[in-house]
Amino acid sequence: MPELPEVETVRAGLAPAMEGHRIARAEVNRPDLRWPFPDRMADRLTGAGVRQLRRRSKYILADLDTGESLLIHLGMSGRMTVSGDPLGRFVHDHPAAQKHDHVVLHMDNGARITFNDARRFGAMDLMPTDGAETHPLLAALGPEPLGNAFSESYLVAALKGRKTPIKAALLDQKIVAGLGNIYVCEALFRAGIAPTRKAANISAPRVAGLVPIIRDVLSEAIAAGGSSLRDYRQADGELGYFQHTFAVYGREGQPCRTPGCEGLIRRTVQSGRSSFHCVNCQR
């Protein structure tokens, strides 16, 4: 599933073709994805101007001049791609329609935004822009890891006394929004913390040290266009590249990349998810 860097990369790629432009025509080619689409979604989107695209956790929000916002979640296999952009940032020719092109937005600048989702775990919804933060999918989210509210003092307080493994705590979207399996594994490796260690047993200085490390990992991943493992593509159809720099994720049985370390990367299963770590470097 795309995590924060992938969603932010898609948002940034869509923005030049959508922000400040109008949806000339919206096509909705099925009644649902993971959940049913809102009533009259195509009609409510057609003619709407896009004021801005923003991201909250793993969701993209398109604020419209109709007073509504379009919420988009890519799910497991969803892609949002741009074609025909007149600025020349993307491929000019529109590709032929594909089987899983479920929502298509024809912009007034000639761009076409296509939401393709083979497995249909993605989602879209329309909601009032005012009070959007109260939407059921957004209301309980914690602070953004790249925002000011995600501070060292906040994380120390949030994890104090928690008996859950640190990996599970960082994946809890109520504690911090947008982190997923890949980037938590990578951040914990850089911090030298084993993913199985209980959060309550980690000293406050080590917990505080996770904040800049998490920010660095996410920022580097965004700069690399995210990580492409299976279905993920950037808005222009290109792959992300951060997967080529993984220190631990997906590297089970391979040598640790820390100079002088002779350990191998181990995979363990926590709450049904694979965790990757070096038993020598992470304690």
Binning pLDDT at 50, 70 and 90, where does residue 229 land? low
Active site residues: 2-3, 58, 273
Instruction: Using alpha carbons only, give the angle 130, 134, 138 rounded to the nearest 5 degrees.
Output: 115
Cβ proximity of 64 and 48 under 8 Å:
yes
Only one residue has tokens 């594994």, namely 185
Q: H or E segment at 114?
A: strand 112-116
What is the predicted pLDDT for the residue at 87?
A: 59
Q: Both tokens of residue 44? A: 């409510």
Q: What is the pLDDT of residues 26-78, one digit of tens each?
A: 999 999 999 999 999 999 999 999 999 999 999 999 999 999 999 999 998 88
d(CA 257, CA 97): 44
Give the pairing of strands 59-64 and 123-128: unpaired
- Tens of pLDDT, residues 83-121: 886 656 555 577 778 889 999 999 999 999 999 999 999
Domains for the chain: give ranges and CATH numbers.
4-134 (3.20.190.10), 152-278 (1.10.8.50)
Q: What is the pLDDT of residue 235?
A: 64
pLDDT in tens, 253-276: 999 999 999 999 999 999 889 999
